[in-house]
Chain A
Amino acid sequence: MARNGGVAWMRTTEKIDGYDLSTSDTEEVHVLAVDDSLVDRKVIERLLRISSCKVTAVDSGRRALQYLGLDEEIQKKETNGFDGLKVDLIITDYCMPGMTGYELLKKVKESSAFREIPVVIMSSENVIARIDRCLEEGAEDFIVKPVKLSDVKRIIDYTTTELREGEQREGTRAKRRGINKRKQREGDDDLSSSPPSTLSSSTSSSPSSSIQSATAPSSPSTLDSPTRRLKMTSSE
């Protein structure tokens, strides 16, 4: 299941060497998808691949931790920090036997090595208390199932933006060392162009989420886009 791709290696060595090969537009985001349902794993895998991501899909929180190297029972040896492909995003179902998505979220956020990885929770239940709890624990976003392409695109958009911002901060530090001026200029261009694309993907997905809340009997009609509403609140 763990693939040794060249891409994440390259990005890390870029940071270490501090000079820019600047292929951040074509580098793929690597997503770890966690869901006990085979049907949902198939669908989320396809949604992510179509959105140009690398995907590793596992069927439990336990296996997710093993993949990351966080499982207490299987200690991975540190070999200059890399045992597999670096994970850029974790997307997990909430309701799973054994370890829930919430418990997985907590374990990831408690770990010093992996707490920076954004975690998105998926659930077929549109429960405010559940959403709040996950966001409070540090979840990046909460998607009500069934997951759509617009949901995935939105998440990948801001994950990519955050990754680029992270690299731009790296570039800024390198600049103070007198290197990497070109990278910082490109980073500025990226930042100025990304907010509009996030906004447009938000507006394009709102009609579909209002249809969704109309057809799903269990979801309150006032919650057309819980994630967006809550995300705006948390950023205030």
Chain B
Amino acid sequence: MLGLDADRLRADLNRLLAFLFHQGILDEQYLQLQQLQDESSPNFVSEVVNIYFHESEKLLRNLRSLLMDREFSDYDKMGIHLNQFIGSSSSIGAKRVRNVCVAFRTASDQNNRAGCLRALELLEHEYCILKNKLHELFQMEQQRLLAAGVRYPMLN
């Protein structure tokens, strides 16, 4: 019975992953991260992704407070934040988030404030989707491991 659940969960997991790839939310770099996970580093993907969430939320807060400032003019600073966001997003395979950041950076390079505001709204939306989907992925992975009865060596 346990075995069947694990198989079904694995199928669901693969279906979710295929969906995320098809929608362009994730790209092959995410698979690369999965390949780096093994018994010696069993939580590698979630560790990296959690760092990414933490850093991204800081960047989003910075971007929002820059644009909300009525006297805002420091597009260079915004460009720096965006470069960081582009870099880290591409490192974990967050394709759509990365693409919105690139469009955002273009608007910023043109000193287009309205364009930046629109891009920020879209970015926050895409980031939200990504975060929810990745949490869903991690939860399913946890359930699958439990169902498969995986035991990790006891560490003292």
Q: Which A residues are closer than 8 A to B by beta carbons?
A: 37-40, 42-43, 46-47, 50, 95, 97, 124, 145-149, 208, 211-212, 215-218
Contact = CB atoms under 8 A, between A and B. Distances in A.
Nearest to B37: A46
Contacts of A218: 102
Given A39-B48, A217-B102, A218-B102, A146 B93 contact: yes
B36 A145 contact: no
A39 B51 contact: yes
Given A146-B93, A217-B102, A39 B28 contact: no
A37 B99 contact: no
8 contacts: A37-B87, A39-B92, A46-B44, A145-B87, A146-B90, A147-B91, A148-B32, A208-B28
B38 to A, nearest CB: 8
Chain B contact residues: helix, strand, loop or mixed? helix
A145 B55 contact: no
Contacts, number: 62
A169 B98 CA distance: 47
Contact of B99 (A97, A147, A217): A217
Question: 3 closest pairs, A vs B, by CB?
Answer: A39-B88, A146-B29, A146-B91
Contacts of B83: 95, 124
B36 A149 contact: yes
B35 A39 contact: no
A42 B48 contact: yes
Interface string B9-34: 00000000000000000011100110
B51 A47 contact: no
A145 B91 contact: yes
A152 to B, nearest CB: 10
A211 B86 contact: no
B100 to A, nearest CB: 11
